[in-house]
Amino acid sequence: MDTLSSRAIGLSEIPVLDFADLDRGQAARSQLFEAMHEACARVGFFYIQNHGVPVQAIDRIFAETHRFFALPEAERDALHLTDSPWYRGYLPTGTPGANKVTRSNLLEAYNLARDLGPDHPDVLTLKPLHGPNQWPAERSLPRFRQAALTYYGLMEALSQRVLGVLCGAMAIAPQSLLPWFDNQLAQLRLLYYPAQPVLDDPILGVRAHHDTSFMTMLVQDDAGGLEVQGRDGEWLVVPPRPDMFVVNVGSYLECLSSGVYTAAKHRVVNRSGRRRYSVPFFFSPRFEVTVEPLPQFARRPDARKVESINVGEDMVRFFDTLFPAVAERGGGPHDKYGTAGRRVVHKMAEGYEAT
């Protein structure tokens, strides 16, 4: 069982990468690439500053996140994620998943992804994980949808910048990696952690885990609570820093790098005594991509043997494990799409070929 003790980080333990270095000449860019490599290999977490996302857009998504979780319970429940075969919508505290042993995470969530209309080819063919979002009523939150979609687009653009720096860190041409992220499987989550008493044994906001993503970019409010596990097993507090994103390595990048880049374990412990809000953006290659270790990493002495991962199959399995109510639903008044639709979705997940 994880101990809930942790310590504050030293300034050098989680690096800060300054993306303004991209415009400061070749020497500065080379230093940035080296810093990205070191951060991914040593910690698996880093901050980025001068990232290009307007502070107004960040303030707006936080304001709409506050408004969403302040909606009446009935309005939030009308958007329940388990009513969506695309895993979009609202999750209240304690939503049952596959883990029946440990205590539930103490948080509420709203999940969204690329918003596809009913005539989109991927929707017409029932391609798994490709569909519409569930949106709150405009009369309740008139600016929510536009704020969320705008922020989602800004984060997709930032993910491209991060990937460009990563390619420099891995000494590969950008065009060998960036095409994987056309129509990427990216998810945006709005998270709310209720206040809890300041105790020696608080309930975990989020249990220790690795991210099923390529990389994750997070903004958190000043309540803090994010903690990352170092290679020695010690938990380190990752405090919010003004105007910076926290970025961490996910499972697909760990695979690509033969484990040289670390998908570090992390968790959330809300010790502040206040409500906490955060907005993570999980980006990953498109559905059809199969991630395999790059040869230059596989040959390194510190490489680990890893299996290739088909992104679509892995994500379908991940979500179905988290939310078996979606995967196993046998019909009923809340089953908008029917058991037959779920069978088609799973059959297609099994049949998609890697590229």
Give domain status of residue 2, yes or no. no
- The whole-number pLDDT of residue 14 equals 84
Give domain status of residue 183, yes or no. yes
User: Per-residue pLDDT tens for 4-44?
Assistant: 555 555 445 789 999 999 999 999 999 999 999 999 998 89
User: Per-residue pLDDT tens for 92-137?
Assistant: 986 555 444 444 578 899 999 999 999 999 999 999 999 999 999 9
- The whole-number pLDDT of residue 208 equals 79
Give domain status of residue 196, yes or no. yes
- The whole-number pLDDT of residue 281 equals 98
Express as a percent the part of the chain with pLDDT over 90: 62
**Structural domain harbouring 295:** 7-351
User: Per-residue pLDDT tens for 37-93?
Assistant: 999 998 899 999 999 999 999 999 999 999 999 999 999 999 999 899 999 999 998
User: What angle (nearest 5°) sits at the alpha carbon of residue 189, between those of residues 1 and 78?
Assistant: 105
User: Per-residue pLDDT tens for 152-189?
Assistant: 999 999 999 999 999 999 999 998 899 999 999 999 99
The residues near 320 (Cβ < 8 Å, ≥ 6 apart) are 326, 327
Report the SS3 class of residue 19: helix
- The whole-number pLDDT of residue 64 equals 98
Q: Which amino acid is at 82?
A: T
Give domain status of residue 1, yes or no. no
Backbone angles phi, psi at 284, to 5 degrees: -150, 160
- The whole-number pLDDT of residue 105 equals 73
Domain with residue 200: its CATH number is 2.60.120.330
Average pLDDT over residues 293-307: 90
Give domain status of residue 287, yes or no. yes
Run of H or E including 333: none
User: Per-residue pLDDT tens for 252-291?
Assistant: 999 999 999 989 898 888 877 889 999 999 999 999 999 9
Compute the distance between CA of residue 19 and CA of residue 30 in angstroms, rounded to an integer.
12
Residue 346, pLDDT above cutoff 50: no
Give domain status of residue 207, yes or no. yes
Compute the distance between CA of residue 163 and CA of residue 173 in angstroms, rounded to an integer.
11
Give domain status of residue 194, yes or no. yes
pLDDT category, 203, cuts 50, 70, 90? low
Residue 350, pLDDT above cutoff 50: no
Split into its structural domains, the chain has a count of: 1
- The whole-number pLDDT of residue 270 equals 81
- The whole-number pLDDT of residue 1 equals 40
